[in-house]
């Protein structure tokens, strides 16, 4: 009975994806900043977490519908935190963990999105003052 060469056996095995394969690129930042983001993703999150959070935040900000948007709270569990704030919170963690230069680049990408979010939402005067600014917006009309 013929045997396969070890290299043939290894090539037939399913390949484990490397962090470089699954890392999505955050648009608008330099390669040096991308390297820092990838380092943070390796240690704290999963590969592509920054891109996923930025994409979800952008989707919320540019969501179709009436001009004033109300962030979605989880209707099934009214006692829980809003689902929409987790993406912006992850991006804020990235900004704090990056170097000053890299954080400035990421904040420059977030700036127009944050401004549009502020324009399209209403301030909640009864929100706890210790909450981040994106959670101090009205839940519903």
The residue ranking higher by pLDDT, 137 or 57, is 57
Read off the pLDDT band of 125 (50, 70, 90): confident
Which region holds residue 16: left if phi is over 0, alpha if psi is between -120 and 50, else beta?
beta
For the segment 56-74, what is each residue's pLDDT rounded down to a tens digit? 888 888 877 666 665 555 4
Question: Does residue 90 carry a pLDDT above 60?
Answer: yes
Given a contact cutoff of 8 angstroms between Cβ atoms, the answer to whether 29 and 109 are in contact is yes
Mean pLDDT in residue range 109-127: 86
Judge residue 114's burial from the number of C-beta atoms within 10 Å of its C-beta, 0-12 exposed, 13-18 middle, 19 or more buried: middle
Q: Residue 109: its pLDDT value, please?
A: 92
Q: In angstroms, rounded to a whole number, what is the distance separating the alpha carbons of residues 59 and 135?
A: 17
Look up the pTM and report it: 0.70
Given a contact cutoff of 8 angstroms between Cβ atoms, the answer to whether 70 and 139 are in contact is yes
Cα–Cα separations (whole angstroms), residue 102 to 17, 26, 93: 27, 12, 13
Q: Residue 77: its pLDDT value, please?
A: 43
């Amino acid at each position: 009975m013929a045997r396969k060469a070890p290299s043939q056996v290894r090539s037939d095995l399913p390949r484990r994806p490397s962090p470089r394969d699954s890392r999505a690129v955050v648009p608008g930042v330099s390669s040096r900043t991308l390297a820092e983001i990838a380092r943070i993703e390796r240690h704290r999150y999963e590969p592509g977490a920054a891109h996923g959070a930025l994409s979800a935040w952008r989707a919320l900000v540019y969501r179709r519908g009436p001009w004033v948007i109300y962030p979605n709270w989880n209707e099934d569990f009214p006692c829980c935190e809003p689902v929409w704030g987790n993406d912006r919170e992850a991006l804020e963690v990235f900004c704090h963990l990056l170097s000053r230069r890299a954080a400035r680049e990421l904040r420059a990408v977030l700036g127009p999105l944050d401004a549009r979010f502020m324009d399209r939402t209403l301030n909640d005067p009864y929100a706890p003052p210790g909450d981040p600014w994106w959670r101090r917006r009205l839940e519903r009309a």
